[in-house]
Amino acid sequence: MRIVTPSGDPVRTASADEFSEPVRWQSAMKRALRDPAELCRRLQLPDSCVDAAIAAAADFPLFVPREFAAKMTPGDPHDPLLLQVLPVLRELESPQGFTADPVGDSDATLTPGLLQKYAGRALLVTTGACAVHCRYCFRRHFPYTEVPSGVAAWQEAIDALAGDESIHEVLLSGGDPLTLADATLAELAQQLAAIPHLRRIRVHSRLPIMIPQRINDQLLAWLTGTRLTPIVVIHANHPRELDRPVLESIDRLNQAGVMVLNQAVLLAGINDDVEVLAELSERLVDQRVAPYYLHQLDRVKGAAHFEVSRERGAELIRQLRTRLPGYAVPRYVEEIAGEPNKTIIA
């Protein structure tokens, strides 16, 4: 079925005056904040914030789109959006059990950039670039420089997919696949659609949250333009991420017939609270997004201060179940290297 995509009115960005001019998503990437001093100054945070951020950003630099920074509350060092992106000294601690490759990616590699851990689906790491650097990310130590990017470089992965009839779904991941140009992604989608046993294409991206104008007509054209069923998994951790421009970007995906799911990570001080998780789910389902997974934090070096215990997480899910319809309660999961699926905690 060919689905007509909505016409492409520019999505308004955040309300602060300097962001009210819609810019192309590529420009939004270019003008993203990279300087800890600038982020701390904008948010009226003390100088100690700057010194800590500079020290902690050495091996994983700060990167925050202005559209996302505009949603943070000035003067609040505990803002749940800020905490996801601000480098802090606690990242330099390395408690036991927190490692560089906590989810066993190196062992699951089929060809460079192609991972398979689960039956029927394989994951293509399309790029190392993201539209934001999340401080808790399990890929913060991933050897991205070894990842091939561009359709020619993916040929080995495409051949491997073509040669394995058991694979029905390809996940485009990264990094963030939607940092790539639509022309590149369109070519990739066509090559994948030409493999008869593939049925679905799934895109994992934080762009709809970070730079909502990324969901434009060119993107919808390749995403819905092949015989493959399109699925987009967004990543919002806190209800305040879902403001009007973001909801409008999701609406464009909805209107184009794309199935949209959300995954979140359970993060101390950000969303380890039943009110926050309930409101996140309510806003998602109101916009026809299924709350798919709530992930237990992967134990990556530098992210220990975000960890919430499994017991506390399971208790939060029990409380959510007493308040929300079943479809609005995410599956609370963790990734255990070598397991045949993500393991359900609650």
Contacts to ligand SF4 by CB under 6 A: 130, 132-134, 137, 139, 174-176, 206
Q: Is the peptide bond prior to 175 cis by the omega test (within 30 degrees of 0)?
A: yes
CB 12 within 8 A of CB 245: yes
Considering the complex, what minimum distance in angstroms separates the CB of residue 24 from ligand SF4? 20
Q: Burial level of 206, CB count in 10 A (0-12/13-18/19+)?
A: buried
Look at the alpha carbons of 201, 205, 209, 214 in this order and tell me if their dihedral is positive or negative: negative
Structure tokens given for 141:
């130590």
Please, which residue, 176 or 182, has the CB nearer to ligand SF4? 176
Please tell me the distance from the alpha carbon of residue 111 to that of residue 88, in angstroms, as a whole number.
35
Query: Which of ligand SF4, ligand PLP, none lies near 134, with the C-beta cut-off 5 to 8 A by kind?
Result: ligand SF4
Contact letters for ligand PLP, residues 71-110 (x by CB under 6 A): -------------------------------------x--
Q: Where are the beta strands (DSSP E) in the chain?
A: 109-111, 114-118, 121-125, 169-173, 200-204, 229-234, 259-265, 290-295, 331-334, 343-344
Query: Which of ligand PLP, ligand SF4, none lies near 69, with the C-beta cut-off 5 to 8 A by kind?
Result: none
Please tell me the distance from the alpha carbon of residue 284 to that of residue 231, in angstroms, as a whole number.
15
Report CA-CA distances (Å) from 45 to 19, 53, 57, 151. Answer: 21, 11, 17, 43
| Binding positions | 130, 134, 137
Nearest to 69 by CA among 15, 137, 30, 7: 15
Q: Pick from 121, 199, 299, 323: which binds ligand PLP (CB under 6 A)?
A: 121
Q: Pick from 67, 87, 102, 117: which binds ligand PLP (CB under 6 A)?
A: 117
Query: Which of ligand PLP, ligand SF4, none lies near 330, with the C-beta cut-off 5 to 8 A by kind?
Result: none
Query: Which of ligand PLP, ligand SF4, none lies near 139, with the C-beta cut-off 5 to 8 A by kind?
Result: ligand SF4
Query: Which of ligand PLP, ligand SF4, none lies near 171, with the C-beta cut-off 5 to 8 A by kind?
Result: ligand PLP
Please, which residue, 33 or 132, has the CB nearer to ligand SF4? 132
Considering the complex, what minimum distance in angstroms separates the CB of residue 308 from ligand SF4? 16
Longest dimension (CA), the chain: 57
CA 259 to chain centre: 16
Contact letters for ligand PLP, residues 133-172 (x by CB under 6 A): --------------------------------------x-
Quickly count: other Cβ atoms within 10 Å of residue 216's Cβ. 18
Considering the complex, what minimum distance in angstroms separates the CB of residue 211 from ligand PLP? 23
Name residue 132's amino acid. Answer: V
| Binding positions for [4Fe-4S] cluster | 130, 134, 137
Query: Which of ligand SF4, ligand PLP, none lies near 337, with the C-beta cut-off 5 to 8 A by kind?
Result: none
Considering the complex, what minimum distance in angstroms separates the CB of residue 55 from ligand SF4? 20
Q: Which residues bind ligand PLP (CB under 6 A)?
A: 108, 115, 117-118, 121, 123, 171, 342
